[in-house]
Amino acid sequence: MTRAMNTPNRSTTHREIDMTRLAGLGLEVEELAEQGPLTPDRVIALAEEQGKPASHYYAAVALATEVELPTAPVTAVFCVGKCQSWGALECVEAAVETWEKRGGGFMIAVKSCLDRCVEAPVVQLRTPAGTALLERAKAADVVAGLAAALE
């Protein structure tokens, strides 16, 4: 099989969450969404309560539900599709930690693709001043990008 043209030819560094697990997590987030918008505090609380990583719930939102995440003037949008194989979930965890440290100030959103797959993992930082695209993003880039956006 030939590899899709638009995936990196760098070796994968991480494993994707399997679809069965995602489907289960998706049901949990759908239930949570019935009670109100999926703001980071509510997703993080669910993750803590269930003893699972918040990033796994975020992956489930993008890949296993029809649920919409709220946005704010500053919103970090993570590709949690194929980008998972190059560390996307670590980027999401970095945003979750930043959110907890700051007590908010931005929203976390997810997509199944941000159309820059060759540069996985890809993160968009949307701010009132414009949108920055982080390519081959690392957790530290997300922390720094959010710090700059929230100054």
Instruction: Tell me whether residue 34 is exposed, middle or buried, using C-beta atoms within 10 angstroms of its C-beta: 0 to 12, 13 to 18, 19 or more.
Output: exposed
Q: Can residue 150 be called a binding residue for ligand FES (CB under 6 A)? A: no
Q: Tell me whether residue 32 or residue 69 sits nearer to ligand FES (CB atom).
A: 69
Total of residues contacting ligand FES (CB under 6 A): 11
Choose, by CB under 6 A, the member of 25, 109, 117, 142 that binds ligand FES: 117
Is residue 122 within 8 Å of 85, Cβ to Cβ? no
Beta-carbon-side half-sphere exposure of residue 56 (alpha carbons within 13 Å): 20
CB 142 to ligand FES: min, Å:
15
Residues near ligand FES, by CB under 6 A: 79, 81-83, 113-117, 120, 122
